[in-house]
Amino acid sequence: MEEEPRHLAELYRMAVLGRLTAKIVHEITTPAGSIRSNNEVLARSLDALGKLLSDATVKKCAPPAKALDILETLKNLAGVDKIACDRISAVVRGLKTYARVEEGELRKTNLNDLLRDTLKLAGVEFRNRVTLVEDFGEMPAVECYPQSLSQVFLNLLVNAGQAIEGEGQVTVRTRAENGWARISISDTGTGIAPEHRDRIFTPGFTTKPAGEGTGLGLVITREIVVDHHHGTITFESEPGRGTTFHARIPITHPRNRS
């Protein structure tokens, strides 16, 4: 019986969530603030509109042009509110995918959907700074532990975002190849120094400032991909140009192969 990633992975996940929380709070506070202030304008406008309409009714004449202006304003506000609500839902949805604890079962999963959810959360890490390119291929459902894979994607995406100083690009590519699903995450960041290549999967190895990196992300990533999914994780990197990590997951988990 295969062990599900628990102790280390669980602790690490809590740490990452902790770090992301401040940014998530900001992501939610901004659209929530805009909804609140819109709501005040809405309430005032509805009062004014009500008065205009009841005056018009009393005088038995058509509603004045002002009423139509107010209606237009209300419509615009509703549009802004919708965008703000969508933004909040997207962040919360990503968070739910990532933070869900129950798991344990292999599940046939659409990896493109799983990536889309994870990207919503990762977007918090590099919004406005990093351009995201999605190049998703047709994918069969993959038998996997979706929760754990979401953690793999988030680790790789956060690393990609952190490797970019200033502005850059992260590309997420999915392909189905000969019974395998390949997920490739490329960045236009600093690249990995040749002398670090052999060490990046070592527990505790980090080149990031204290408090930012624990050096566990890739250890857990490898554990989930290789030990729990019988997949592979490889990378190519060119210092100064960027890095690509490839995770390959068998479409059918070996446990269920006849």
Ligand X SMILES: Nc1ncnc2c1ncn2[C@@H]1O[C@H](COP(=O)(O)OP(=O)(O)OP(=O)(O)O)[C@@H](O)[C@H]1O
Q: Which does 119 bind (CB under 5 to 8 A by kind): Mg ion, ligand X, none?
A: none
State the nearest-atom distance from the C-beta of 221 to Mg ion, in Å.
Answer: 8
| Residue carrying structure tokens 């956060």 | 158
Q: Which residue number, 44 or 208, has a Cβ lying nearer to ligand X?
A: 208
Q: Which does 190 bind (CB under 5 to 8 A by kind): ligand X, Mg ion, none?
A: ligand X
Q: In which region does residue 60 sit, left (phi positive, over 0), alpha (psi from -120 to 50) or beta (all else)? A: left
List the one residue out of 113, 105, 122, 110 whose CA is nearest residue 228. Answer: 105
How far apart (Å, rounded) are the C-alpha atoms in residues 43 and 195?
Answer: 63
171 interacts with ligand X by CB under 6 A: no
How far apart (Å, rounded) are the C-alpha atoms in residues 8 and 243?
Answer: 26
Cα 88 to chain centroid, rounded: 12
State the nearest-atom distance from the C-beta of 45 to ligand X, in Å.
Answer: 47
Amino acid of residue 160: A
State the nearest-atom distance from the C-beta of 248 to ligand X, in Å.
Answer: 17
User: Segment contacting ligand X (CB under 6 A): 53-61, 82-90, 138-146, 186-194?
Assistant: 186-194
243 interacts with ligand X by CB under 6 A: yes
∠ CA(125), CA(130), CA(134), 5° rounding? Answer: 95
109 interacts with ligand X by CB under 6 A: no
How far apart (Å, rounded) are the C-alpha atoms in residues 48 and 66?
Answer: 10
State the nearest-atom distance from the C-beta of 200 to Mg ion, in Å.
Answer: 9
Task: Please give the size of the binding site for Mg ion, defined by CB under 5 A.
Answer: 2
Site for ligand X in 198-227 (CB under 6 A): 200, 205-208, 213-219
| Residue carrying structure tokens 């058509």 | 62
DSSP state of 207: -
Question: Exactly one of 20, 67, 95, 163 binds ligand X (CB under 6 A); which one?
Answer: 163
Q: Which residues contribute to the site for ligand X (CB under 6 A)? A: 155, 159-160, 163, 187, 189-192, 196, 200, 205-208, 213-219, 243
Q: Which residues contribute to the site for Mg ion (CB under 5 A)? A: 159, 217
